Amino acid sequence: MSAPALVIRGLVVRDRQGHGLVRGVDLTLPAGGILTLIGETGSGKSLIAQAVMGLLPDELRAEGAISVAGREAEAGDKPALRRLWATHTMVLPQEPSAALDPTMRLLSQLAETAGKTNATSALDAVELSGAAARAWPHALSGGMAQRGLAAMALVSNAPLLVADEPTKGLDDERVGIAIRLLASLRDRGKALLAITHDLRVARGLGSAVAVIRDGVIVEQGSAEAVLSTPTHAYTRAWLEAEPARWPPRPRSAAAQHPVLVCEQVGFGYTPRERLAERVSLSLRPGEIVGLCGVSGRGKTTLGNVLLGLHRPHAGTVKWIGGADPYADPPAQRRLRRQYQKLHQDPVRAFVPFRSLARQFADLKPVLPPRALSDRLPELLDRVRIKPSLLARKPAEISGGEAQRLAIVRLLLLEPRVIVADEPTSRLDPIVQREVIELLTELARTRNLGLILISHDQALLDAVTDGELLL
Amino acid sequence: MSEIARSVADTVRTGQRLPWAGPALILAVVLIMILGPRVWPVSPTAQNLLDTLAGPSLAHPLGTDHIGRDILARVVHGAPLSLGFALLVVAIGAAIGVVLGLVAAERGGLIDILIMRFTDLMLAFPGVLLALLFAGFMGGGMVPLFVALTITLWPQFARMARAIALQTLAEPHVEASRLAGLPPAAILARQVLPPVLQQTVVLAAFSVGGTILTISSLGFLGLGMQPPTPEWGAMITELLPYIHQAPLQLAAPCLCIFVTVLAFMLGGEAFARRAMRGEHAP
């Protein structure tokens, strides 16, 4: 048996102030094996990948030893680690289409280093042959670009591949494809270190799993053992945060008048470029309707159509009392505050250079009287946010806090309908669960209609009363 | 013109190693502009035909020109005319441009098209040419010069303001404010104007340098401020025939222009760098 593909001993990464971001990590990845490192944002998992590649930012200091296929290096010796690129280590980047040279055809790019025969056989192995192999990178789909990079990994001599968040931003179907592709690389003798916060990757790749929290490995072992019978409380909490494991929700059966109806709506960016036709839905107070579909099918645009932000080409949108926001501008102005949106990126939903307290104060003219003095403290308490946090600017709070504050801001406006556009896709699983639970509970207790846009089928199955597939 | 000076600043790279050099130089130049005439209260227009083209002396530290006027007094009194005038032109040009750019971005549609096509039309003319035409038709003097320079300046500011405003208007935080029913003017003032202003300051600093050069060029061509006004460009025109007899006297206004333009270029660089690092959040 040859030397292990990767051995990390006593890896410590410190910032300028000497705080340990990664504190004493030991990992071993056998030749031709797979190790999935899971952890939430800020847990230090990406720093480990960067340390292996010699790519840590200059302001960080690394200690410990890293050995790749028998080649030893100090973790702090970045030039030595970088000399291992292509011969020993290779990164599979997050954005595959950006990693290909746009000025060269796929086959020529591979042939440049590996020779034409090797390049062709590698492309055959990932099922990119014929026209696809001779295509320019811009003509490749995201999935094809990913396979192109996998072929590049195959022609390189590197025994160790590092994949950082290989499934970020992919929908269910593409996640499965990406996982199969990564597994096929192992079948061809490559060892794989996958860094992810997506449990589907850990489950799909199998083999070994390590769970990292606050720069420390809290649990490691075979994927089967860790994911089915976790020993550490944190791993358990994480597994339970998966939407598929959430308890079923009591369905609301309120027979009230709908607060939002759309009939036979057709919409798109321009009249020629239509995204969807004949979409109809009806939303009652307290009801949660899921909107799902592959990216690019117009989920966000439909949300905007319903909110009176994007005029449809056909059909009608009716707000409360049958008011059409597009045909009746005074009604839109009157009802504006009652139809609100929760954005995908909560941090960007706040003005970056104003303190949060000032941004809440800015709303004063449009809020009901005493909303800021009486209701704001109560709502902050409800979402467990300390009022002192409002003194900060949006970049200084976490994504979960920002999303909870965005919800508070919406509630101050006393809405009837909230369109939540992928409200948790940028949050970690445990935070995602908190936010979704908060939203569903608010829908129930405050009787507001909620439209939940997501590409995560399991999430929608867990909480919605009905679903619309685009 | 500002491109040339900017590349000079890039080559010098002083802004990178001494980030305070630009702001400090600006401060020094502005102080000289304000305090100079009091510290050296000699008349810039008093002639002494018995003492022409004299070298440096205690009475005339920078010598005298061809009709015996004190060069130091002329240089110091010229500062408010060259620099002060440029600051005023840039301030007004920037204000017009920013307002038009914001209106175009916020209103969109026909208003956007009208404003921006007019801006393109103005940008299509080389700035100096436009100013030259204008000053030429209206005759020399302060007012035509002021109008001509402002006309050449505002289009750049309008373009920049519109570009940044469009980007900001597409941000989720603007959409959230609109959905909350906040009036467009409040959204523009609180959420869109600050990032626009941040870039405006950078562009304005660069423009001050360029404008001083244009004022001086027009002065040199006899189309700017007229003699005996001690404007730096006009001084160079007057002294050029005596370059062999009085090189120091000619160098004085040249150096003033050089240092002032450099100061504002470096200052602009320093501010741009700060803005890029996000240290300066209004």
A126 versus B103: the higher-pLDDT residue is B103
CB hemisphere CA count around A292 (13 angstroms): 19
The per-residue pLDDT for range B157-213, each reduced to its tens digit, is 999 999 999 999 999 999 999 999 999 999 998 999 888 988 888 888 888 878 887
Going by the DSSP 8-state scheme, the letter that residue B70 receives in this structure is B
The per-residue pLDDT for range B125-165, each reduced to its tens digit, is 877 787 778 777 877 677 888 888 888 899 999 999 999 99
- Give the confidence band of A252 by pLDDT, cuts at 50, 70, 90: low
- B172, A307: Cβ pair inside 8 Å? no
> Which chain A residue lies closest to B281 (C-alpha atoms)?
A353
pLDDT(A37) > 80: yes
- B282, A353: Cβ pair inside 8 Å? yes
The per-residue pLDDT for range A312-323, each reduced to its tens digit, is 988 999 998 888
Q: Do residues A437 and A445 lie in contact, with contact meaning Cβ atoms separated by under 8 Å?
A: no
- Give the confidence band of B282 by pLDDT, cuts at 50, 70, 90: very low
Question: How close, in Å, is residue B193 to chain A by CA atoms?
Answer: 11
ipTM entry: 0.71
What per-residue confidence (pLDDT) applies to A254? 56
Question: How close, in Å, is residue A419 to chain B by CA atoms?
Answer: 12
Find where tokens 């920049």 sit: B160
For residues A182-199, give the mean pLDDT.
Answer: 88
What per-residue confidence (pLDDT) applies to B279? 41
- B181, A341: Cβ pair inside 8 Å? no
What per-residue confidence (pLDDT) applies to B11? 46
Partners of A292 in the β-ladder: A469
- Chain A CB contacts of B182 under 8 Å are 362-363, 365-366
> Which chain A residue lies closest to B169 (C-alpha atoms)?
A351
Degrees (nearest 5) of the Cα angle A299, A343, A39? 100
For residues A415-427, give the mean pLDDT.
Answer: 88
Q: Which residues contact B30 (CB under 8 A, 6 or more apart)?
A: B83
The per-residue pLDDT for range A348-361, each reduced to its tens digit, is 999 988 899 999 99
Give how far Cα A218 sits from Cα of A18, A20, A257, B122, Å.
22, 16, 51, 65
Q: Do residues A224 and A208 lie in contact, with contact meaning Cβ atoms separated by under 8 Å?
A: no
- Give the confidence band of A251 by pLDDT, cuts at 50, 70, 90: low
- Chain B CB contacts of A340 under 8 Å are 179-180
- A343, B195: Cβ pair inside 8 Å? no
The per-residue pLDDT for range A109-129, each reduced to its tens digit, is 888 888 888 888 888 888 888
Going by the DSSP 8-state scheme, the letter that residue A256 receives in this structure is P
Which residues in chain A (357-376) have CB-CB distances under 8 A to chain B? 362-363, 365-366
pLDDT(A447) > 70: yes
- A363, B179: Cβ pair inside 8 Å? no
> Which chain A residue lies closest to B176 (C-alpha atoms)?
A349
Q: Do residues A449 and A342 lie in contact, with contact meaning Cβ atoms separated by under 8 Å?
A: no
What's the predicted TM-score (pTM) here? 0.72
> Which chain B residue lies closest to A394 (C-alpha atoms)?
B173
Q: Do residues A376 and A359 lie in contact, with contact meaning Cβ atoms separated by under 8 Å?
A: no
pLDDT(A259) > 80: yes
- Give the confidence band of B1 by pLDDT, cuts at 50, 70, 90: very low
Question: How close, in Å, is residue A352 to chain B by CA atoms?
Answer: 9
Task: Please tell me the distance from the alpha carbon of residue A461 to that of residue A445, in angstroms, as a whole number.
Answer: 20
The number of beta carbons lying within 10 Å of the beta carbon of residue A231 is 11
Q: Do residues B165 and B102 lie in contact, with contact meaning Cβ atoms separated by under 8 Å?
A: yes
State whether residue A384 sits within 8 Å of chain B by CB: no
Q: What is the CA radius of gyration of chain A?
A: 25
Q: Which helix (H) or strand (E) holds A274?
A: strand A274-283
- Give the confidence band of A164 by pLDDT, cuts at 50, 70, 90: confident
Q: Which residues contact B144 (CB under 8 A, 6 or more apart)?
A: B134, B135, B137, B138
- B interface with A, Cβ–Cβ < 8 A, is 171-173, 175-177, 179-183, 186, 190-191, 194-195, 281-282
- Give the confidence band of B99 by pLDDT, cuts at 50, 70, 90: very high
Q: Which residues contact A148 (CB under 8 A, 6 or more apart)?
A: A96, A100, A106, A123, A126, A128, A137, A140
